[in-house]
């Protein structure tokens, strides 16, 4: 694509999107993905450069930088920005100084590699597969207190926490600098129906005439409580974006292609037409609970969403977070930190007395009548070949999930434990 064609395409995509919330900290999206001759030239240069191999998490972050999902960042954070984000959730340097940002976006490298680099050097960023993903211009190299980052971001240094594991296992030195992104990886071809860039998503929302849009974050197939949350949001907003994580998960979580099929089946059978859009994004889960909920709201603003549905234990894992910590953290923000706002919803459950889904705010019946549904409970039942009640999940969805588990030998299935809010 030539530079002129690229500009024309952007002008077309941005048409009629002015009614949507603006991107975070910017009047327009700032994608860093090169195309056409610019990409070809950068790939040729990258083949001659020293290389840094990206972790799965770093690769997802780089792709988000490329497609504008992390607008207005121009690359991986320097030490001052890392410190400001970890301690105060604020960037500290450059044009973005003072801007709200809840989780550090960083790149690490072995000490020997970092010691060989000087400010202004260029380095190729390579996936574990060997694919050249981008080029970074070095601004700074620095070391961090990994345990401090974990305590601030995850509220724990427990190495059993999957997000803590990611940070503790990263290389010794962080490399900061602006990036040129050269690939979106396998996502456009592996998930052609659901993977969407912020520009594409904004155009879809604009074409529907939607102004208020609630994002529903999920790393699970949608069960009855999820369905209920989305339908509450449809009553309030013009529509819902069911936005599935397509990157890496922890063992025992259900793969993206299975989740996509299950979600599509649910939407086709149980939602009114043109009220829900399914899409996906390329990040790995961090399982950072409240801080990750803030990041989810931030980049959903870039995707054009005015609201983020925040229910029980959003982005949580195990018993590291309180059931509604991800809601109360939004109360600590300053007025202009985020335009996208949380749509907080209380405990949801099936009530036997009501004969329907309900919430703690609407149901008058005793807790003994309530069947609380969670993705963890559903995965546990399915992985252990137990019966799943209809009030847990729709039968068409269960059929898809049972078919998935039937292809996994029992001894190869990850153990699913009920702890924290999922055990209630």
Give 44: exposed, middle or buried? Use CB within 10 Å, 0-12, 13-18, 19+. Answer: exposed
The two structure tokens encoding residue 136: 């970074």
Query: CA 406 → CA 195, 266, 298, 381, distances in Å?
Result: 27, 20, 38, 13
Burial label for 70, CB within 10 Å (0-12, 13-18, 19+), is buried
CA distance 125 to 26: 26
307 closest CA partner among 245, 235, 256, 228: 235
Residue 222: count other Cβ atoms within 10 Å of its Cβ: 26
- With b for 16 or more beta-carbon neighbours within 10 A and e for fewer, the 101-132 pattern comes to bbbbbbbbbeeebbeebeeeebbbbbbeeeeb
d(CA 222, CA 240) in angstroms, rounded, equals 13
Query: Active site includes 118?
Result: no
Q: Report the distance separating Cα 184 and Cα 200, nearest Å.
A: 14
Query: With contact defined as beta carbons under 8 Å apart, do 125 and 135 qualify?
Result: yes
Choose, from 78, 96, 174, 220, the residue flagged as catalytic.
220
CB 315 within 8 A of CB 293: yes
Phi, then psi, of 21 in degrees rounded to 5:
-60, 145
Q: What is the rounded CA–CA span in Å between residue 65 and residue 75?
A: 7
Q: Which of 59, 202, 219, 312 is catalytic?
A: 219
Q: Is 60 helix (H, G, I), strand (E, B) or coil?
A: helix
Task: Please name every residue paired with 183 in a beta bridge, in sequence order, or none if there are none.
Answer: none
Known active-site residue 219 = yes
Active centre residues (catalytic): 219-220
């Amino acid at each position: 694509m030539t530079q002129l064609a690229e500009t024309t395409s952007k002008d077309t995509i941005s048409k009629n999107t002015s009614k949507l919330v603006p991107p975070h900290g910017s009047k327009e999206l700032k994608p860093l993905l090169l195309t056409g001759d610019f990409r070809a030239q950068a790939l040729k240069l990258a083949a001659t450069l020293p290389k840094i191999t990206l972790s799965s998490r770093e690769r997802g972050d780089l792709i988000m930088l490329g497609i504008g999902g992390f607008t207005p960042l121009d690359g991986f954070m320097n030490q001052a920005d890392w410190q400001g984000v970890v301690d105060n959730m604020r960037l500290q340097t450059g044009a973005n100084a003072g801007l709200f940002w809840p989780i550090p976006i960083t790149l690490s490298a072995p000490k020997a590699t970092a010691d060989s680099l000087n400010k202004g050097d260029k380095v190729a960023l390579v996936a574990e597969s060997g694919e050249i993903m981008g080029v970074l211009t070095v601004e700074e190299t620095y070391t961090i207190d990994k345990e401090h980052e974990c305590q601030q971001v995850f509220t724990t240094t427990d190495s059993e926490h999957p997000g803590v594991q990611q940070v503790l296992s990263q290389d010794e030195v962080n490399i900061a600098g602006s990036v040129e992104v050269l690939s979106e990886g396998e996502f456009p071809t592996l998930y052609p129906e659901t993977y969407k860039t912020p520009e594409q998503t904004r155009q879809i929302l604009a074409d529907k005439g939607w102004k208020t849009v609630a994002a529903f974050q999920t790393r699970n197939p949608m069960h009855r409580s999820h369905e209920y949350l989305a339908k509450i949001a449809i009553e309030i907003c013009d529509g819902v974006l069911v936005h599935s994580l397509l990157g890496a998960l922890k063992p025992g979580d259900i793969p993206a292609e299975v989740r996509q099929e299950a979600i599509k089946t649910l939407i086709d059978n149980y939602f009114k037409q043109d009220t829900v859009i399914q899409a996906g994004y390329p990040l790995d889960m961090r399982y950072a609970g409240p801080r990750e909920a803030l990041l989810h709201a931030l980049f959903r603003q870039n995707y054009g969403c005015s609201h983020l549905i925040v229910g029980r234990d959003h982005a949580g894992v195990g018993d590291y977070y309180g059931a509604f910590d991800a809601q109360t953290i939004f109360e600590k923000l300053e007025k202009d930190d985020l335009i996208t706002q949380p749509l907080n919803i209380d405990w949801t459950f099936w009530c036997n007395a009501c004969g329907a889904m309900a919430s703690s705010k609407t149901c008058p019946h005793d807790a003994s009548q309530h069947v609380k549904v969670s993705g963890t409970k559903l995965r546990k039942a399915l992985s252990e070949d137990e019966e799943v009640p209809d009030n847990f999940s729709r039968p068409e969805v269960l059929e898809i999930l049972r078919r998935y588990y039937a292809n996994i030998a029992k001894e190869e299935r990850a153990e699913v434990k009920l702890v924290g809010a999922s055990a209630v």
